[in-house]
Amino acid sequence: MSFINYASREINCKIVYYGPGLCGKTTNLQFIYNKTAEESKGKMISLATETERTLFFDFLPLALGEIRGFKTRFHLYTVPGQVFYDASRKLILKGVDGVVFVADSQVERFDANIESLENLKDNLEEQGFDLEKIPFVIQYNKRDLPNVSSVEELSNLLNPRKVPELEGCATTGEGVFETLKSVAKLVLNDLKKGGT
């Protein structure tokens, strides 16, 4: 849940990158980190295994600028995608304001995407959130690879609600900022509707 601080005139929002193992969540954050000016970012923290798989979370704080005199900060988190880290995934979803689902476009990861999306729904519900209602965007990642499903096919399956969807290649950064921007937009619009 967002944190609105009238004392320091700041808004803080939490955005979580979700998706199956190796779909490119951490790579999204790394690209954002590398391309963001020094003064707008904090340290990126990665709690990872020795083989660079996310173990608990990645964390990247961004200070994007001001809206109506309030400093707007986004705290980006990734979850560990590997199936057996489910307990940790639930913890990271606490207090989330917006979710990016990073899908792995490769044909052989088709089922893994579905499973992860179902898992997201369940875990959100457990925290009292409804995936149908919270700010949510989907990124079809790894579009650079040869063995990918068509976006249409992925969209039919993963995005029946037709939330904003973007093609991406997190290693080169294609679609990465567009994805962040589209979820940020939804989160801020939510804040506007919510009043407080």
Partner 1 sequence: MLGPQSSLVMYDEEYQRILLLLERLLRESNSKVIFLVDKNGQLIAATGETANLDTTSLASLTAGNIAATGGLAKLIGEKEFSILFHEGEKDNIHISIIGGRVILVVIFDHRSSLGLVRLRVKKASNELAIVFEDLVNRTEQESISSSAPSPFAEITDDDIDNLFN
**Residue 72: left (phi > 0), alpha (psi -120 to 50), or beta?**
beta
Contact predicate 139/116, CB 8 Å: no
> Which ranges in 45-169 belong to alpha helices (H)?
86-92, 110-126, 151-158
Cα gap 58→39, rounded to integer Å? 20
* Selected binder of ligand GTP within 2, 36, 46, 53 (CB under 6 A): 53
Nearest CA to 154 out of 98, 189, 106 is that of: 106
Nearer to partner 1, 105 or 179 (CB): 179
Cα gap 116→86, rounded to integer Å? 10
Q: Scanning residues 143 to 162, which ones bind ligand GTP (CB under 6 A)? A: 144-145
Cα gap 51→146, rounded to integer Å? 25
61 binds, among ligand GTP, Mg ion, partner 1, none (CB under 5 to 8 A by kind): partner 1
* Selected binder of ligand GTP within 24, 98, 135, 164 (CB under 6 A): 24
Nearer to ligand GTP, 54 or 72 (CB): 54
173 binds, among partner 1, Mg ion, ligand GTP, none (CB under 5 to 8 A by kind): none
Q: Scanning residues 82 to 101, which ones bind ligand GTP (CB under 6 A)? A: 82
Cα gap 148→51, rounded to integer Å? 25
Nearer to ligand GTP, 26 or 123 (CB): 26
Cα gap 141→103, rounded to integer Å? 6
Nearer to partner 1, 148 or 191 (CB): 191
Nearer to partner 1, 64 or 151 (CB): 64
160 binds, among ligand GTP, partner 1, Mg ion, none (CB under 5 to 8 A by kind): none
Q: Using CB under 6 A as the criterion, which residues of the chain lie in contact with ligand GTP when the complex forms?
A: 19, 21-27, 53-54, 78, 80-82, 141-142, 144-145, 169-171
